[in-house]
Chains A and B, each alone.
Chain A
Amino acid sequence: EVQLVESGGGLVKPGGSLRLSCAASGFTFSSYSMNWVRQAPGKGLEWVSSISSSSSYIYYADSVKGRFTISRDNAKNSLYLQMNSLRAEDTAVYYCAREFSGYGGNWFDPWGQGTLVTVSS
C-alpha cells in the first residue's frame, strides 16, 4: 500500500523553527518528485514547495522563499521541510504529496494525513 506519513508538527513561537518529516512506503520513493502543500484552518490549499526525484530541481512559493528548505533522503524514503522564522500566518496543516507527471501535466497522489503546525506566542 502506498503511504505517506507526516510528523514533526506542533506549537512554536513566532520566529521559531520546526522540521517536518514525511515517511514514504509502498512505492519507489526515489523515482518521484515530492511536494508540500498546506492548509490554514478553515481555508483552502496552498502549495508550499516541491523537490525533484534527485533533488536537482527545487521550487518554493514566494510566501516561504528564504525561510523554508525542502530536502529528501532517498535512502531513508523520507521528505523534509525545515521551517525557520515562522510567522503566525504559517499556521496550517502541512501535507506531503507524491507528484505524478504525464500527458496533461502533474498531479498529486496520494497525500499524507497531514501534520498541524501552530505558530503562536
Chain B
Amino acid sequence: DIQMTQSPSSLSASVGDRVTITCRASQSISIYLNWYQQKPGKAPKLLIYAASSLQSGVPSRFSGSGSGTDFTLTISSLQPEDFATYYCQQSYSTPTTFGPGTKVDIK
C-alpha cells in the first residue's frame, strides 16, 4: 500500500495568514492526489483533485501543486471558515489511502 504523510500535523494561524500544508507519498503517484477539508462533526469536502484542479464552488484562495511524491495545499489568505482538518488522498493505486490529516486552528 502507498503510505501518505502530512506535515505539519497541526498548525496555529491567524485570519489573513498564508498557510501551506505538505503531503508526501511513499512512492511516485504522478498527479493522483486529492485534498479534502473536514470540519468537526461534518463529512469531508473535496477541495482539490488531480493535484491542482480546484473543485467547483471552492474559493480560489485554495490551491494545490506538486507531482511525483511531494504535494502542497496552500490557503493564500486564511478565513475564519477555513479552520478545519485537511487530508490528502492518493488514487494512484488500490487501496486508496489518506494522509493522517493536518489540523488548522486559530492562533
Contacts and interface: CB of A to CB of B under 8 A. Distances in A.
Interface in B13-56: 30-34, 36, 38, 42-46, 49-51, 53, 55
Contacts of A113: 42-43
Interface in A59-89: 59, 61-62
Interface residues of B, number: 30
Interface string B70-101: 00000000000000000101111011111111
Nearest to A63: B95
A27 interface: no
Q: Do most interface residues of chain A lie in helix, strand or loop, or is the interface mixed?
A: strand
| Chain B contact surface mostly | loop
Given A44-B98, A44-B99, A105 B31 contact: yes
Contacts of A110: 43, 45-46
A104 B43 contact: no
A95 B94 contact: no
Contacts of B51: 104
Interface of A: 37, 44-47, 50, 59, 61-62, 95, 100, 102-114
